[in-house]
């Protein structure tokens, strides 16, 4: 059907196409085709090749203008997005020449007398349209402010303004024509949903196969990675017997086996997709929409750091059309189990695929004067005070963004609070007797912890899910299916639990040897593990296929299921042969381990878990001769600055130790877990997180001097004092560039201090006498400072009196290395081309150590308003010291400001106050704020008010962390067994 045209004259459309991939250009083709069929002129501004448009549209009303106004996401290869390169390329393409671009586009739009500007989804096109006095509309399933928002974390504070500028540009757009599989796009005021935009078919399945010389009974897989498989080695044995593979985008010099066929670069891929039995590729709008439209099963491999993907993936799987392949199996050729699984699927998408026609009608109506907009505030206003970082904005309850129903359903099924089935801890839901019939506790005690009861109940139901056929339900999670086949129920299972931590005081000073005060959170990670002989392990199909291919019989395999993957861009499962940890008869080096886990970013999370096994092998000489199956379920939210990684590491190592009869003291276990994070994961964290998770106790502060990990004891929290955590919604990562650069700056500062102290000593020795300055300072002190092991052992007054003037505010890495060679930190590397904020990074731990000591002393002082005021003031000072180190964030600053406003309000002053202080926690750059106040109902009410005010300002409803729970050492472990007779229930 052609778009109805009641317009007397042809309309002129200026259609801008983003530079990211062919998928955008192909859907623009379909919309433009319908506009041209209705008699209108379409000027396409694109960087895509002409044939993409001219193959489908042969009309004098199509005008192609070759201009690239944005770059999309820069990919290092077909599956890897380079976040920093993407931002730098966008700056080069769209930011630096912005004024020239705007002037040029305004002049061009006026010259063609455009009636409407359409963008998919070039930000500057909307602003240029506004400057030219022309209406604009966007047609897309994602926007670049959402995609780039996570990337700014990799760049630190650099490029952050890119997100704001893009949001502001989009806000000039009148409304959004929103395609299925969409992401949150808060920069737009109004959205009109349309069906899938899919290119039409030109030839039948039979015609395509006849042209290719392929019989009807031959199975075909089309390899479609966006034209980027160059350099891959494809082998005949990758395919099941009798199959053929059609390769899109192969380079001219690419040699292919006889069962692989190279498609021409200008092949009309919709026809070939529809003629195939399944598709193997990466997820994008074009591939997903065509797979759904033509009911072709899609075997997909995840990309890292492209935030559009989870939404399309969930839609694909909702309609039973997707199978996920592990990247390792893609590159090593273990394709068979995935392809055979794919052809057994029955994709069930039965909705409209005429989105191009519907969108064209809306665009025509808009260009002729119809108004589709409401009076909502623009996105630039709503994004002014918050960056959409990663998936945090839509992962928690209370958000007011438009999320697809199927995405919200997935979130509800996994648990609203954190995306974990064990997140809801309701004592009334899971009474002991309700699961005692299914799970027998052979050793250990649940300590009355309702989240542990919930986890055990979940375990007891896994085999019921598998045996009852529930796995066929549409919304049954992939991770639940994988977990259902994980354990052998005739063998013992060991369960360990480790909480996150709320950083009350100490934070990033831990790596400089500071005293820290940390409280275990109520939220915790549970790990269930089974050590089992390889002949009894229930292997997943692809793992079984890998073993069969080796022809060695059953060998020890590690299999991991991690709950919560549906709400983050990572795979739900990981498996490896334990022999992969060996290198020449010895455990592999940590450097090789980092490379091993970094090969597939969607499975990089496994380094935190599997890394515990390698550390035990290397540090304690443990030999693992049996297979290991693990289920990881964490209610500690990721990226909130409450040590989700430490809780996973500690819970995992505790479970592994229990299953293998290892008696490791909690302190030693924490130090081993730090090695996992420092050396296997590659995150330069201190040890306080792991120590708190392992050694902490409920409702008490763990006092520890991090030199490296000397526990001073547990500090009781006075009954009248309470601590809360409030999440800013801004994703924190200790692996981020900001945290690492501040750590490097602190170690540089220590090196300069030691060097200057040595110089003063040398001068003294050379002269044979002590100058007046040295007499005052003391030779012994200088000797100590010349061999300073931890920066926090330097007192603030010595720092101010002698060393502060020796420290530059900023130093270039190359300049420092030339003079001092190295900074003597084993877990970070100096970037010679980077500037480091040295003085602030050095000053923070020296003063923080003093603040923590004062804080600890105040906790045991007499109860008074002055006590609380002083505690709060120390926290405020810590917060602003973080900011001086460039580790602050807009969100955490806003939360601290809200606490201050509440503290100094007239009501609080008249009632002697209830909230007294707040500070950013952990590694900074987002994450959670810790608040101190009176332990009373009024304080809880004020925390709730701050939560609502923050939501009103940013659109994000913070998670509140309150309560505490025991550390892993206090919990110990459970040895359990499933009662087999309950299967018949």
Alpha-carbon distance 436 to 457, whole Å? 9
**Arithmetic mean of pLDDT over the chain:** 84
Per-residue confidence band for 401, with pLDDT thresholds at 50, 70 and 90: very low
Mean pLDDT score, 540-566: 81
Looking at residue 910, its pLDDT comes to 59
Give the three-class secondary structure for 318: helix
Mean pLDDT score, 108-127: 97
* Helix pair 838-859, 737-767: axis angle to 10 deg: 100
Mean pLDDT score, 92-108: 95
Looking at residue 396, its pLDDT comes to 35
Per-residue confidence band for 661, with pLDDT thresholds at 50, 70 and 90: very high
Higher pLDDT, 642 or 294: 294
Nearest to 18 by CA among 115, 86, 76, 104: 86
Looking at residue 919, its pLDDT comes to 95
Instruction: Please determine, for residue 243, whether its predicted confidence score (pLDDT) is greater than 50.
Output: yes
Looking at residue 468, its pLDDT comes to 47
Per-residue confidence band for 620, with pLDDT thresholds at 50, 70 and 90: very high
Instruction: Please determine, for residue 455, whether its predicted confidence score (pLDDT) is greater than 50.
Output: yes
Per-residue confidence band for 593, with pLDDT thresholds at 50, 70 and 90: very high
Mean pLDDT score, 335-340: 91
Please, are residues 150 and 163 in contact by the beta-carbon 8 Å criterion? no
DSSP codes joined into one string, 570-598:
S-SEEEEEGGGGEETTEEPPHHHHHHHHH
Instruction: Please determine, for residue 157, whether its predicted confidence score (pLDDT) is greater than 80.
Output: no
Instruction: Please determine, for residue 466, whether its predicted confidence score (pLDDT) is greater than 70.
Output: no
Looking at residue 424, its pLDDT comes to 34
Rg (CA), the chain: 30
- List the beta bridge partners of residue 80: 77, 304
Lowest mean pLDDT across 3-7, 362-366, 545-549, 871-875: 3-7
Nearest to 578 by CA among 545, 536, 547: 547
Burial 336-359 (b: 16+ CB within 10 A, else e): bbbbbbbeebebebeeebbbbbbb
Q: pLDDT tens, 807-862?
A: 999 999 999 999 999 999 988 899 999 999 999 999 999 999 999 999 999 999 98
Max avg pLDDT among 420-424, 500-504, 902-906, 958-962: 500-504
Task: List Cβ neighbours of 574 (8 Å cut-off, separation of 6 or more).
Answer: 558, 559, 560, 562, 603, 605, 606, 609, 610
Please, are residues 327 and 602 in contact by the beta-carbon 8 Å criterion? yes
- pTM (2 d.p.): 0.69
Alpha-carbon distance 77 to 583, whole Å? 28
Q: pLDDT tens, 277-319?
A: 999 998 889 999 999 999 999 999 887 667 788 888 888 888 8
Share of the chain above pLDDT 70, in %: 85
Instruction: Please determine, for residue 471, whether its predicted confidence score (pLDDT) is greater than 90.
Output: no
Instruction: Please determine, for residue 379, whether its predicted confidence score (pLDDT) is greater than 90.
Output: no
Higher pLDDT, 733 or 570: 570
Max avg pLDDT among 165-169, 242-246, 469-473: 242-246
248: its two tokens? 């899109």
Instruction: Please determine, for residue 188, whether its predicted confidence score (pLDDT) is greater than 90.
Output: no
Give the three-class secondary structure for 349: coil
Please, are residues 947 and 960 in contact by the beta-carbon 8 Å criterion? yes
| C-alpha 683 chain-centroid distance | 15
Nearest to 872 by CA among 913, 819, 917: 917
Per-residue confidence band for 763, with pLDDT thresholds at 50, 70 and 90: confident
Looking at residue 600, its pLDDT comes to 72
Catalytic site residues? 689
14: its two tokens? 């200026």
SS3 for 703-740 is: EEECCCCEEEEEEECCCCEEEEEEECCCCCCCCCHHHH
Alpha-carbon distance 837 to 855, whole Å? 27
Compute the half-sphere exposure of residue 294: CA atoms within 13 Å on the CB side of its CA: 26
Instruction: Please determine, for residue 378, whether its predicted confidence score (pLDDT) is greater than 70.
Output: no
Instruction: Please determine, for residue 432, whether its predicted confidence score (pLDDT) is greater than 50.
Output: no
Lowest mean pLDDT across 547-551, 723-727, 909-913: 909-913
Mean pLDDT score, 597-609: 82
Nearest to 114 by CA among 17, 8, 2, 10: 10
Nearest to 887 by CA among 521, 511, 507, 502: 507
Alpha-carbon distance 366 to 119, whole Å? 14
Give the number of other CB atoms < 10 A from CB of residue 806: 14
Please, are residues 504 and 723 in contact by the beta-carbon 8 Å criterion? yes
Alpha-carbon distance 633 to 983, whole Å? 23
DSSP codes joined into one string, 92-153:
IIIITTHHHHHHHHHHHHHHHT-SEEEEES-HHHHHHHHHTT--EEEEES--HHHHHHTHHH
Higher pLDDT, 473 or 304: 304
439: its two tokens? 């799970």
Lowest mean pLDDT across 79-83, 279-283, 619-623: 79-83
How far, in Å, are 644, 714, 836, 852, 858 from residue 704 at the CA level? 20, 9, 29, 10, 16
- List the beta bridge partners of residue 977: 440
Nearest to 563 by CA among 526, 508, 521, 520: 526
DSSP codes joined into one string, 465-525:
HHHHTGGGSTT--HHHHHHHTT--TTS-EEEEEEEEEEEEE-GGGGGGT-EEEEEEEEEEE
Does 598 sit behind a cis peptide bond, omega within 30 degrees of 0 on the bond before it?
A: no
Max avg pLDDT among 425-434, 480-489, 515-524, 570-579: 515-524
- List the beta bridge partners of residue 978: 439
- List the beta bridge partners of residue 407: none
Per-residue confidence band for 737, with pLDDT thresholds at 50, 70 and 90: low
Nearest to 533 by CA among 458, 414, 426, 626: 626
Mean pLDDT score, 191-199: 94
Higher pLDDT, 32 or 8: 32
Mean pLDDT score, 627-651: 90
Please, are residues 31 and 83 in contact by the beta-carbon 8 Å criterion? no
Instruction: Please determine, for residue 496, whether its predicted confidence score (pLDDT) is greater than 80.
Output: yes
Per-residue confidence band for 168, with pLDDT thresholds at 50, 70 and 90: confident
């Amino acid at each position: 059907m052609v778009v109805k045209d009641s317009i007397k004259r042809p309309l002129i459309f200026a259609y801008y196409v983003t530079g990211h991939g062919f998928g955008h250009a192909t859907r623009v083709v379909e919309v433009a085709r319908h506009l041209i069929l209705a008699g209108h002129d379409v000027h396409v501004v694109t960087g895509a090749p002409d044939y993409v448009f001219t193959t489908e549209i042969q009309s004098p009303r199509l005008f192609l203008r070759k201009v690239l106004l944005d770059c999309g996401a820069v990919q290092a290869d077909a599956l890897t997005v380079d976040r920093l390169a993407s931002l730098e390329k966008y700056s080069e393409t769209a930011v630096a020449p912005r004024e020239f671009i705007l002037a040029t586009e305004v002049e061009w739009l006026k010259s063609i007398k455009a009636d409407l500007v359409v963008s998919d989804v070039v930000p500057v096109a909307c602003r240029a349209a506004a400057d030219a006095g022309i209406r604009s509309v966007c047609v897309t399933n994602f926007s670049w402010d959402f995609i780039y928002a996570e990337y700014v974390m990799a760049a630190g504070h650099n490029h952050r303004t890119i997100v704001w500028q893009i949001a502001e540009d989009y806000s000039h757009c009148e409304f959004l024509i929103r395609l299925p599989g969409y992401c949150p796009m808060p920069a737009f005021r109004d959205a009109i949903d349309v069906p899938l935009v899919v290119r039409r078919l030109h030839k039948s399945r039979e015609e395509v196969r006849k042209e290719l010389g392929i019989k009807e009974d031959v199975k075909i897989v089309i390899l479609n990675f966006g034209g980027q498989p160059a350099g891959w080695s494809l082998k005949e044995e990758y395919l099941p017997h009798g199959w053929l593979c059609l390769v899109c985008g192969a380079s001219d010099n690419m040699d292919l086996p006889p069962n692989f066929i190279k498609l021409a670069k200008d092949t009309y891929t919709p026809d070939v997709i529809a003629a195939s039995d399944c598709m193997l590729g990466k997820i994008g709008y074009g591939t997903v929409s065509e797979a759904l439209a033509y009911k072709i099963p899609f075997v997909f491999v995840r990309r890292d750091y492209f935030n559009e993907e989870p939404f399309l993936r969930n839609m694909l799987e909702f309609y039973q059309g997707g199978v996920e392949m592990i990247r390792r199996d893609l590159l090593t050729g273990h394709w068979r189990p995935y392809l055979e699984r794919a052809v057994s699927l029955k994709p069930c998408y039965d909705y409209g695929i005429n989105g191009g026609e519907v969108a064209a009608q809306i665009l025509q109506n808009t260009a002729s004067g119809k108004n589709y907009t409401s009076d909502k505030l623009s996105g630039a206003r709503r994004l002014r005070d918050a960056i959409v970082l990663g998936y945090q904005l839509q992962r928690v309850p209370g958000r007011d963004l438009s999320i697809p129903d199927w995405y919200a359903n997935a979130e509800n099924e996994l648990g609203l609070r954190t995306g974990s089935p064990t997140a809801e801890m309701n004592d009334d839901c899971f009474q002991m007797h309700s699961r005692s019939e299914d799970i027998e506790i052979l050793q250990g005690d649940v300590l009355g912890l309702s989240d542990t009861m919930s986890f055990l109940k979940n375990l007891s139901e896994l085999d019921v899910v598998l045996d009852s056929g529930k796995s066929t339900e549409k919304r049954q999670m992939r991770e639940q299916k994988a977990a259902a086949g994980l354990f052998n129920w005739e063998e013992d299972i060991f369960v360990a639990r480790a909480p996150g931590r709320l950083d009350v005081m100490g934070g990033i000073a831990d790596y400089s040897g500071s005293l820290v005060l940390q409280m275990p959170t109520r939220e915790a990670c549970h790990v269930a593990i089974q050590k089992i002989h390889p002949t009894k392990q229930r292997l997943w199909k692809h793992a079984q296929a890998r073993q069969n291919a080796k022809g060695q019989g059953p060998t020890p395999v590690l299999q991991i299921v991690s709950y919560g993957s549906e709400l983050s861009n990572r795979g739900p499962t990981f498996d490896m042969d334990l022999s992969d940890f060996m290198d020449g008869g010895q455990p592999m080096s940590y450097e090789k381990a980092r490379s091993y886990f970094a090969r597939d970013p969607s499975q990089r999370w496994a380094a935190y878990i599997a890394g515990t096994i390698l550390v035990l092998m290397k540090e304690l000489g443990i030999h693992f001769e049996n297979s290991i199956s693990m289920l990881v379920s964490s209610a500690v939210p990721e990226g909130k600055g409450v040590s989700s990684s430490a809780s996973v590491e500690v819970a995992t190592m505790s479970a592994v130790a229990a299953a293998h009869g290892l008696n490791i003291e909690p302190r030693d276990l924490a130090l081993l877990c730090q090695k996992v994070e420092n050396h296997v994961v590659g995150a330069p964290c201190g040890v306080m997180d792991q120590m708190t998770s392992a050694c902490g106790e409920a409702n008490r502060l763990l006092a520890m001097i991090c030199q490296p990990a000397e526990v001073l004891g547990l500090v009781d929290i006075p009954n009248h004092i309470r601590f809360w955590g409030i999440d800013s919604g801004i994703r924190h990562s200790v692996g981020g560039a900001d945290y690492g650069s501040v750590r490097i700056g602190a170690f540089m500062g220590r090196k300069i201090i030691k060097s200057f102290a040595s110089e003063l000593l040398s001068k003294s020795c050379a002269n044979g006498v002590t100058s007046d300055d040295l007499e005052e300072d003391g030779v012994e002190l200088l000797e100590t400072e010349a061999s300073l092991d931890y920066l926090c052992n330097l007192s603030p007054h010595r720092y101010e009196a002698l060393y502060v003037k020796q420290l530059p505010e900023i130093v270039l890495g190359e300049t420092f290395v030339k003079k001092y060679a190295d900074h003597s930190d084993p877990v970070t590397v100096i970037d010679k081309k980077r500037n480091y904020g040295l003085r602030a990074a050095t000053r923070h731990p020296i003063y923080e150590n003093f603040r923590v000591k004062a804080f600890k002393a105040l906790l045991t002082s007499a109860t008074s308003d002055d006590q609380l005021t002083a505690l709060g003031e120390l926290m405020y000072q810590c917060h602003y010291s973080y900011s001086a180190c460039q580790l602050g964030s807009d969100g955490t600053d806003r939360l601290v400001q809200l606490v201050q406003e509440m503290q100094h309000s007239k009501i609080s002053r008249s009632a002697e106050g209830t909230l007294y202080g707040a500070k950013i926690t952990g590694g900074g750059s987002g994450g959670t704020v810790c608040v101190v106040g009176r332990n009373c109902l009024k304080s809880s009410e004020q925390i709730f008010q701050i939560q609502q005010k923050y939501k009103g300002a940013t659109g994000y409803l913070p998670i509140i962390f309150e309560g505490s729970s025991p550390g892993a050492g206090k919990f110990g472990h459970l040895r359990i067994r499933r009662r087999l007779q309950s299967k018949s229930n």
